[in-house]
């Protein structure tokens, strides 16, 4: 039996309510998380290359992207949450073997997220000019920061469609295609950036001189390269979702794309708390940018590159969280809370284990990692210092990442969002104000390390109880799909 057939067979056991052994549960978890974790790790390696291209331009251009990065995270977080409002419903419907209603939700979701992303796009374009000033950026980096954010905003609908296609495929149990497409997107991003960031230049390849064309757009080229890569990926994601997916494909099926009130209400019940969390959490990240910005270009660049470098540790956790969302969602859709709890424990153990191992590696090679991202020795030294502090937070961070994926799969987003918000603002931001004044960037990362460990602990306490094991009610309805949290 091939791995793909084995995965489909094991998912079928969930959907039909049959028993599974612990070995089968672990096997299914590994089959789902494997491609997702691989894609996350590969994307980080390629992002290192991407970031190093900008880093080679100097601390100023790097700082201009770092200044607006938290705001781009807000935009991306809105789009991701919008997609999950529909994909979680689909996961529960597929878990209950209701593929017809799953496709209805998918069609309605596609229209909804596209309209939403166009609105976010217009908002981004309108604030691109004054944004760097609002964030307290220095005058020398404001033009590049504005230009980068403007181009980023123009491609938000493409990012949204890519998120939507990927999340729908994942919730159906297809982790391989979105993972491979995300890796492909990162490769395209690097290629486009190579051609757009730098001017036409002479390079030596195997002893031969050759001319490489380039647009010389600097940080604006980085934004354009990413946008073009997202556009290609969005098209491919939708092709595999709408045409090739055996669970959700609608190429030969007619149906309305007009969202119903019921479907939107269900989506908002999941997405609403995630949107509020996104605003307040990313607002906290913006507050952290404001806290760090007065420290100067070196600290801003070191902070930005260290965050990128830290993703070497935490992206496998996000891959495991994706698998947890699918497994828990389908288990609860099949009304198997015992499966949901078993998959929760398996995903938590694997996610924490992977991130702890990578944290140890990061601690010992922090300087080498930073040197790949920046040629500025001051940026490298400061970035390596804060990375070693952060290595002690990765176990707690892993617990919070995977646990949140579990809760999203259950449709339980309100309480986890409140937990995230309280942890971020009360335990990180407020202490960081005083620690940063006393110890500079090191003080901020000490506050972050403490907060992530506390956050992991409260998420472990959440999963210890039964509050997260909500299920979606899925009554048959030919006109409106109802899969709202009970």
Q: Which residue has the higher pLDDT, 31 or 37?
A: 31
**From 131-135, 170-174, 209-213, 335-339, the region with the lowest mean pLDDT:** 209-213
CA-CA distance, 63 to 109, in Å (whole number)? Answer: 37
Which pLDDT score, from 0 to 100, does residue 44 have?
A: 65
d(CA 194, CA 217): 11
Size (the chain), residues: 486
Assessment of whether the complete model's pTM goes beyond 0.85: no
pLDDT greater than 70 at residue 160: yes
**pLDDT averaged over every residue in the chain:** 88
pLDDT (average), residues 75-90 = 91
Least confident range from 149-163, 314-328, 443-457: namely 314-328
Residue 426 has pLDDT above 90, yes or no: yes
Report the DSSP beta bridge partners of residue 201: 212
What pLDDT, on the 0 to 100 scale, is given for residue 477? 43
Whether the CA torsion 392, 398, 401, 404 is positive or negative: it is: negative
pLDDT, tens digit, 9 for 90 and up, residues 260-306: 999 999 999 889 998 888 778 777 877 887 898 888 888 888 888 88
C-beta separation of 397 from 253 below 8 A: no
**Paired tokens of 110:** 């596609």
What's the confidence (pLDDT) of residue 43?
64
Decide if pLDDT at 482 tops 60. Answer: no
More confident residue, 133 or 486: 133
pLDDT score at 476: 41
Give the model's pLDDT for residue 327: 94
pLDDT class of 72 with cuts at 50, 70, 90: confident
Dist CA 479 CA 261 (whole Å): 11
Q: If you average pLDDT over residues 182-193, what whole number do you get?
A: 88
What b-and-e string marks burial along 374-404, b requiring 16 or more CB atoms within 10 Å of the CB? Answer: bebeebbebbbbbbbbbbebbbbbbbbbbbb
For residue 410, which of 49, 30, 156, 84 has the smallest C-alpha distance?
A: 84
Q: What is 314-376 written as a DSSP string?
A: HHHHHHHHHHHHHHHHHHHHTT-HHHHHHHHHHHHHHHHHHHHHHHHHHHHTHHHHHHHH---
Of 224 and 2, which is predicted with more confidence?
224
CB 277 within 8 A of CB 417: yes
């Amino acid at each position: 039996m091939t791995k793909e057939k084995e995965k489909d067979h094991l998912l079928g056991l969930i959907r039909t309510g049959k028993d599974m052994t612990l070995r089968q549960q672990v096997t299914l978890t590994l089959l789902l998380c494997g491609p997702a974790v691989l894609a996350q790790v590969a994307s980080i390696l390629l992002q290192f290359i991407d970031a190093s291209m900008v880093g080679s331009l100097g601390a100023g251009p790097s700082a201009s992207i770092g200044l607006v990065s938290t705001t781009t995270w807000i935009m991306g977080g809105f789009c991701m949450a919008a997609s999950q409002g529909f994909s979680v419903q689909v996961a529960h419907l597929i878990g209950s073997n209701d593929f017809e209603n799953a496709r209805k939700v998918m069609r309605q979701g596609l229209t909804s997220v596209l309209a939403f992303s166009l609105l976010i796009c217009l908002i981004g374009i309108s604030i691109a000019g004054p944004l760097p000033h609002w964030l307290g950026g220095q005058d020398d980096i404001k033009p590049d920061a504005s230009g980068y954010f403007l181009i980023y905003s123009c491609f938000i609908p493409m990012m949204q469609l890519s998120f939507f296609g990927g999340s729908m495929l994942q919730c159906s149990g297809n982790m391989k295609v979105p993972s491979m497409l995300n890796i492909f997107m990162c490769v395209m991003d690097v290629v486009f950036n190579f051609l757009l960031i730098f001017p036409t230049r002479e390079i030596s390849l195997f002893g031969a001189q050759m001319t490489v064309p380039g647009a010389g757009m600097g940080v604006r080229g980085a934004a354009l390269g990413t946008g073009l890569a997202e556009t290609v990926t969005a098209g491919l994601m939708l092709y595999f979702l709408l045409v090739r997916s055996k669970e959700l494909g609608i190429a030969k099926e007619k149906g309305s794309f007009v969202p119903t009130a019921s479907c939107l209400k269900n989506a908002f019940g999941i997405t609403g708390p995630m949107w509020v969390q996104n605003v307040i959490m990313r607002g906290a990240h913006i507050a952290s940018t404001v806290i760090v910005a007065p420290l100067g270009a070196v600290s801003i660049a070191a902070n930005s590159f260290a965050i990128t470098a830290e993703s070497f540790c935490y992206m496998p956790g996000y891959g495991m969280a994706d698998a947890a969302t699918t497994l828990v969602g389908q288990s609860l859709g099949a009304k198997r809370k015992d499966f949901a709890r078993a998959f929760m424990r398996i995903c938590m153990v694997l996610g924490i284990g992977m991130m702890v191992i990578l944290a140890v590696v990061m601690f010992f090679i922090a300087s080498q990692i930073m040197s790949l991202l920046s040629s500025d020795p001051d940026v490298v030294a400061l970035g390596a210092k804060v990375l070693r502090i952060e290595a002690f937070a990765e176990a707690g961070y892993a617990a919070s990442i995977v646990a949140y994926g579990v809760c999203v799969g259950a449709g339980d987003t309100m309480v986890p969002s409140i937990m995230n918000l309280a942890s971020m603002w009360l335990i990180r931001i407020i202490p960081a104000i005083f620690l940063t004044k006393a110890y500079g960037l090191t003080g901020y990362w000490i506050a972050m390390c403490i907060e992530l460990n506390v956050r992991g602990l409260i998420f472990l306490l959440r999963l210890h109880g039964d509050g997260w094991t909500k299920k979606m009610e899925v009554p048959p309805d030919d006109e409106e799909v109802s899969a709202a949290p009970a």
